Structure 1
């Protein structure tokens, strides 16, 4: 069984009442991937905005077949996940990491170069736990702060360049890395509800970024069909 681990920040954990891009990708893989698979990770909850804590299981679709497991947290970035990833990969035998991080780091904690250093720490930690782990890394996608703040936009652009360089520099045949493409038609008004967090169409576009990268890079599954 192929074991995927979604790793991310608020865009990945989602909040109460949402489907999440994790759910959209699961539906896609159910239709397009020919073998058994699941999602794994040490967490299952959504973020509850009223409680200001990740304590909700109120997914928009309560389908009991949906594997809710993940390693994502509201307000967490590469800085936070780099120290956690080794244990999570080891404990849950993750085969493929689906990683969407960086916005929180750049917004609150580290500059582009420091964030890229944490990417290297993350990859090293995951490989130390499971030398053949595969990873798909998503660049920081369009967001309202980058739209309004040219200096922040420059940091996002620089980090995305450094992320692409890290994927190239850290490439290993036994532990391949894929750089997903940011959704080309991502629209802050149509695809988010606040300029940062995805609505339904945004969830589909993020899921498509991961699905299409794996299909094109590894022949896994098929092109995203918006299931």
Structure 2
């Protein structure tokens, strides 16, 4: 059984009433992946905006494997210390990682964030030396559209992320840089300039699904 663990920030955990891109990817794998698989992780909840806490189980469709390692306001800085234990206890084979926006927005600059990427990878491999990782670059949000220095940090981090993935990729534990969704539009695919709506969820799921299909032969292209 192939065990996928979504790792991310607010765009991955989602909030009450949403499907999440995790759900969209699960649907895709259910329909296209030929072998047994599971979504795994130490958490299951959505973020509840009313209580400002990750306590909601009110998925738009709760009937799917909801496990993940994602948190509202959490980034590479927060996940690097947690990933080894999560990979070990959940026996994760593939990490689907979407992190970085919150780091750059509040915690670390591009270079510091890239160092946390490298720490994350090293920690994950201590728990599973053969773990595979598909990593999504930061998708610029509404702040990047209005704040030029922040936009420059996003661009710089994505360059450093690509370098880290190339440097750290190895045959027994491959790293894969997914392509940002080419048609992603923060005015059409988010509800607030950052967090995905239904169309955004599909496009993020497609970014991971297409990357894994092209590089590793997992499933079929999204929508295919």
TM > 0.5 fold call: yes
- Report the 3-state secondary structure (helix = DSSP H, G, I; strand = E; otherwise coil) of the residue aligned with 1:5: strand
Q: State the Cα distance separating 1:142 from its structure 2 match.
A: 2.5
The answer to whether the 8 A contact 2:140-2:154 is kept is no
Query: Structure 2: how far apart are the matches of 1:217 and 1:148?
Result: 35
Q: State the Cα distance separating 1:62 from its structure 2 match.
A: 2.3
* Counterpart pick for 2:104 among 70, 94, 106: 106
Structure 1: tracts of 5 or more residues without a match: none
What does residue 190 of structure 1 align with?
188
Query: Structure 1: how far apart are the matches of 2:218 and 2:37?
Result: 12
What does residue 42 of structure 1 align with?
42
What does residue 119 of structure 1 align with?
117
- Report the 3-state secondary structure (helix = DSSP H, G, I; strand = E; otherwise coil) of the residue aligned with 1:189: coil
What does residue 76 of structure 1 align with?
74
Alignment of 1:140-151 (within 5 A): 140-151=138-149
Aligned residues: 224
- Report the 3-state secondary structure (helix = DSSP H, G, I; strand = E; otherwise coil) of the residue aligned with 2:134: strand
* Counterpart pick for 1:138 among 136, 139, 146: 136
1:74-130 Cα deviation digits (max 9, x unpaired): 000000000000000000100000000000000000000000000000000000110
Runs of 4+ in 1 over 4 A off after TM superposition: none
Q: State the Cα distance separating 1:189 from its structure 2 match.
A: 1.1
- Report the 3-state secondary structure (helix = DSSP H, G, I; strand = E; otherwise coil) of the residue aligned with 2:200: helix
Query: Structure 2: how far apart are the matches of 1:13 and 1:44?
Result: 9
Alignment of 1:189-208 (within 5 A): 189-208=187-206
What does residue 57 of structure 1 align with?
57
TM-score between both structures, scaled by the size of structure 2: 0.99
TM-score between both structures, scaled by the size of structure 1: 0.98
